[in-house]
Amino acid sequence: MTNDTIAAISTPPGSGGIGVIRISGRASLEVLSGVFGRTREGVEDCTGFRSHTVYHGYVFEADGAEVIDEVLVIPMLAPKSYTSEDVVEIQAHSGNVVMNTLLERVLANGARLSDPGEFTRRAFLNGRIDLTQAEAVADIINARSVKSLKVAASQNTGVLKEGISQMRSRLMEVYTLFEASIDFPDEAGETIETEKALSVVKDVAEDCSKFIQRYNDACFIREGINVVICGAPNVGKSSLMNRLIENDRSIVTSVPGTTRDPVRESFNLNGIPMVVADTAGIHPTNDLVEIIGIEKAKEHITAADIILFMQEPGGCVPEKELDKVVPDGVKTVFVFNKTDLAVDDKLPEMPEKYMNCPKIGISALNNEGIDELREMIVDLAMRDLDIDSGTVVPNLRHKLALQEAAASLEAVENGLRNHLEEETLALDIKESIEALGRITGETAGIEVLDHIFSNFCIGK
């Protein structure tokens, strides 16, 4: 697969200062020789071009007479390139016609149009990066906030890869011991020191748990915080939602939903992606239709990271209804709207159970208290979490593999305690090694790779 030479436009479509065509593969310089020359005289042999050197010149029409564009060309020869293969980048003037004409010339001279993510896939297949780093490239491109960019950037440097590789090699040592005692049962005798094996297995299982916990604590950094607004009809939920997304109008996108779903919008709050949903329902009622509404709200609230419970300042908090829908431990902010209509500034007393939840009075109509509420949401989201450069936040794929590894390690641990046969122990530990290998890519199947790289754009 990596025998041929691929090419693609690596910059986004449309007009711009510079557009880049990237070529990768053994024949990169030959392909270049068919299209490029340093003088207006025509194409020339580029096979002797030096690596990491910028060449100024022209790309020519098929007959070599007409110049298509004046360009800069940079050869980056193997292995010091993005793909670890011979790479050539052609920097031209960016415009759809000029870029496509240049690409056609490159393809006509021996390159094949790359698949989505194929450059990064080659970097992975050639061992320059592991799968977590390849995923980080996509995360960097798709980062929706400064924090998610930080996480992706540190993953790109290989922190997750290193952590997982160390766990794997520690398990590999134990596996080798098991194998040795299976192959040479007589000599093995005391080969397997149960206590030593147990301590390694327990250590690695703990590392798995830490990574999984990190995912649970911080997955919103990648995926966004799920904020659900709930409260009685007419309390001002839609008005608040509009206020929250207003300042970020430029980056608001509608989240498609079915008619049964509440309205959902995504926006960015202080660099953290948020998805906010507006549900109906929660208030004391005997009305059957409204009870169904409460049930529906419950479904959305179950998936919430933060609940904004809205009511008007006058009434008391409907504790019983809240208990029915708010799962224990979900971060809840009590938002008292329409303070402009209130006779005094006093907010209602909170029931014992919700005493520690933040509360705030706002007027969605007059845009009062909205900034403070925004800060409250961010504080609540970031509570218990410090994200720095170097922080590892596994993605869902990693988490599932870590869970598998942890389950196999638990089996090994039990097996060791119960003195099970080495064959069984070896099998379980092998499974955990394989699960971890899927994260970095050593044991990832073709369908996993296809799935990951199909999410890339062409040219990356």
Q: Does 234 bind ligand GDP (CB under 6 A)?
A: yes
Which residue's CB is nearer to ligand GDP, number 176 or number 234?
234
Least distance from ligand GDP to the Cβ atom of residue 310, Å: 7
The label of the residue with tokens 């698949």 reads 115
Least distance from ligand GDP to the Cβ atom of residue 339, Å: 7
Which residue's CB is nearer to ligand GDP, number 289 or number 446?
289
Which residue's CB is nearer to ligand GDP, number 145 or number 239?
239
d(CA 191, CA 301): 54
Could you give the count of Cα atoms lying within 13 Å of 145 in the half-sphere of its Cβ? 21
Interactions with ligand GDP, residue window 327-366 (CB under 6 A)? 337-338, 340-341, 363-365
Single out the residue of 13, 185, 233, 315 in contact with ligand GDP (rule: CB under 6 A). 233
Which residue's CB is nearer to ligand GDP, number 30 or number 290?
290
Beta strands in 215-364 (DSSP E): 225-231, 253-254, 263-269, 272-278, 306-311, 331-336, 359-361
Identify how many contiguous H helices and E strands the chain contains and give both numbers: 15, 14
**Contact by Cβ (8 Å): 212, 406:** yes
Q: Mark residue 182 as left, alpha or beta (left: phi above 0; alpha: psi -120 to 50; beta: remaining).
A: alpha
Q: Considering only 61-69, 151-159, 233-241, 392-400, which stretch makes contact with ligand GDP by CB under 6 A?
A: 233-241
| Closest C-alpha to 60, from 89, 19, 26, 32 | 32
Which residue's CB is nearer to ligand GDP, number 336 or number 453?
336
Least distance from ligand GDP to the Cβ atom of residue 323, Å: 21
54 token code pair: 């910028």
Binding mask 187-226 for ligand GDP (x = CB under 6 A): ----------------------------------------
Least distance from ligand GDP to the Cβ atom of residue 269, Å: 20
> In Å, how far are 21, 29, 46 from 66, measured between CA atoms?
20, 21, 19
Which residue's CB is nearer to ligand GDP, number 176 or number 238?
238
Residue 335 sits at the vertex; the CA angle it makes with 329 and 341, to the nearest 5 degrees, is 160
| Closest C-alpha to 231, from 325, 299, 302, 304 | 325
Which residue's CB is nearer to ligand GDP, number 169 or number 238?
238
Q: Does 237 bind ligand GDP (CB under 6 A)?
A: yes
The label of the residue with tokens 């580029």 reads 46
Could you give the count of Cα atoms lying within 13 Å of 386 in the half-sphere of its Cβ? 2
Which residue's CB is nearer to ligand GDP, number 338 or number 398?
338
Q: Considering only 28-36, 232-240, 283-291, 444-452, which stretch makes contact with ligand GDP by CB under 6 A?
A: 232-240
The label of the residue with tokens 């509570």 reads 383
Q: Does 371 bind ligand GDP (CB under 6 A)?
A: no
Q: Considering only 229-237, 246-254, 377-385, 443-451, which stretch makes contact with ligand GDP by CB under 6 A?
A: 229-237
Q: Does 293 bind ligand GDP (CB under 6 A)?
A: no
Single out the residue of 25, 236, 262, 459 in contact with ligand GDP (rule: CB under 6 A). 236
357 token code pair: 């939840």
Least distance from ligand GDP to the Cβ atom of residue 337, Å: 5
Single out the residue of 7, 46, 235, 376 in contact with ligand GDP (rule: CB under 6 A). 235
Which residue's CB is nearer to ligand GDP, number 144 or number 237?
237
171 token code pair: 């398990």
Least distance from ligand GDP to the Cβ atom of residue 381, Å: 23
Least distance from ligand GDP to the Cβ atom of residue 361, Å: 10
- Respond yes or no on whether the N-terminal peptide bond of residue 348 is cis (omega within 30° of 0): no
* Helix, strand, coil fractions of the chain, as percent rounded to 5: 45, 20, 35
List of residues 6+ apart from 453 with CB closer than 8 A: 115, 116, 117, 118, 120, 121, 134
Which residue's CB is nearer to ligand GDP, number 293 or number 415?
293
Which residue's CB is nearer to ligand GDP, number 197 or number 301?
301
| Closest C-alpha to 279, from 304, 249, 315 | 304
Least distance from ligand GDP to the Cβ atom of residue 403, Å: 39
Single out the residue of 238, 414, 454, 455 in contact with ligand GDP (rule: CB under 6 A). 238
| Closest C-alpha to 91, from 34, 161, 16 | 16
Least distance from ligand GDP to the Cβ atom of residue 350, Å: 21
Least distance from ligand GDP to the Cβ atom of residue 363, Å: 4
Q: Which residues bind ligand GDP (CB under 6 A)?
A: 233-239, 337-338, 340-341, 363-365
